[in-house]
């Protein structure tokens, strides 16, 4: 053809990358796209691998944003945290949607390669555990799963001992002159957060005086968004597992669907939900 593709390219487009960094170089696609190793010959194992790998990448970004938001809140710089937290909730939507893609895997198809997984399980995702810790759901017993990973175990131990984003938000209440019990401000960060009446009263003051405490009000609603999205992710996880394996035991040794249903009983940021009844 006289008008070849190369002839139609704009003159300024870079074509020679022998000594220049390309798109693939920058993103290290040679590493990312060669990291999918099926352990079976089944076609659908590729779907299973990629769904979980991309989920881990999204989780990495969630942690990047959450840690930055916590830092902002601890410095009493609330406004910069709002964009970060909005981004987290958008990423969570991506993760929630991924379950609908995985649900195209039928039970018969999954059984063709499930035995190849051994005892590996999503329960062992250290990044999901870090997210739960950052949101306030602490459980020291889960660290035993990661003792064989010297590069991961210290990260989880450190996160367990640090205040969550909700602890940072409660501290922000106090910094804005709202009365909060000392036991809520300086608690044992390794423990799962328990509701506190003074915290609920402080948030009620914020919601009843939004003009005066607009930044705190905005922060609260951002947290509610994230808490709701995390619960939706958990729920979709549970229903997808139920759709694919029914009530079989999980590959990691859990009770499977029954365990995932119990996880749903845990609530993030409890006073931000309970105050709604009292408003």
266 in a known ligand binding site? no
3-state secondary structure of 82: helix
- Selection from 184, 222, 223 nearest residue 201 by Cα: 184
Count CB-CB contacts under 10 A for residue 190.
14
52 in a known ligand binding site? yes
Token pair, residue 30, equals 């040679």
Start-to-end CA distance of the chain, whole Å, equals 72
Find the Cα–Cα–Cα–Cα dihedral 135, 181, 188, 213, rounded to 10°: 30
Alpha-carbon radius of gyration of the chain: 23
- Distances in Å between the Cα of 3 and the Cα atoms of 6, 7, 8, 216, 277 are 8, 6, 7, 61, 69
Q: How far apart are CA 276 and CA 272, in angstroms?
A: 7
Task: Identify whether the C-beta of residue 262 lies closer than 8 Å to the C-beta of residue 139.
Answer: no
Among positive and negative, which fits the CA dihedral 209, 211, 212, 215?
positive
251 in a known ligand binding site? yes
- Distances in Å between the Cα of 91 and the Cα atoms of 33, 168, 177, 216, 265 are 22, 22, 33, 23, 23
Q: How far apart are CA 150 and CA 273, in angstroms?
A: 38
237 in a known ligand binding site? yes
Long-range (24+ apart) CB contacts under 8 A made by 12-17 are none
114 in a known ligand binding site? yes
Q: For tokens 């909700």, name the residue.
A: 166
**Bind-site residues:** 48-52, 110, 114, 237, 251
**Bind-site residues for heme:** 237
**Bind-site residues for substrate:** 48-52, 110, 114, 251
């Amino acid at each position: 053809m006289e008008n070849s593709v190369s002839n139609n390219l704009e003159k300024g487009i870079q074509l020679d990358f022998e000594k220049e960094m390309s798109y693939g170089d920058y993103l290290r696609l040679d590493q990312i796209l060669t990291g999918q190793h099926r352990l079976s010959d089944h076609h659908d194992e590729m779907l299973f691998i990629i769904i979980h790998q991309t989920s881990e990448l999204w989780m990495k970004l969630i942690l990047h944003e959450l840690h930055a938001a916590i830092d902002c809140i601890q410095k009493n710089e609330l406004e910069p945290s709002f964009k970060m937290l909005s981004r987290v909730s958008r990423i969570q939507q991506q993760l929630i949607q991924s379950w609908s893609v995985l649900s195209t895997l039928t039970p018969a198809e999954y059984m063709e390669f499930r035995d190849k997984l051994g005892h590996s399980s999503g329960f062992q995702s250290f990044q999901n555990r870090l997210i739960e810790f950052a949101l306030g759901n602490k459980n020291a017993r889960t660290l035993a799963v990661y003792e064989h990973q010297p590069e991961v175990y210290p990260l989880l131990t450190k996160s367990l001992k640090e205040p969550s984003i909700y602890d940072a938000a409660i501290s922000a209440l106090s910094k804005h002159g709202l009365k909060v019990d000392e036991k809520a401000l300086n608690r044992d960060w390794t423990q799962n957060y328990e509701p506190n009446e003074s915290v609920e009263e402080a948030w009620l003051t914020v919601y009843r005086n939004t003009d005066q405490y607009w930044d705190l009000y905005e922060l609260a609603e951002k947290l509610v968004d994230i808490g709701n999205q995390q619960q939706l992710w958990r729920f979709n996880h549970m229903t997808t597992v139920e759709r694919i394996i029914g009530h079989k035991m999980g590959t990691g040794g859990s009770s499977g669907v029954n365990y995932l249903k119990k996880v749903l009983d845990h609530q993030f940021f409890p006073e931000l939900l309970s105050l709604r009844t009292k408003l």
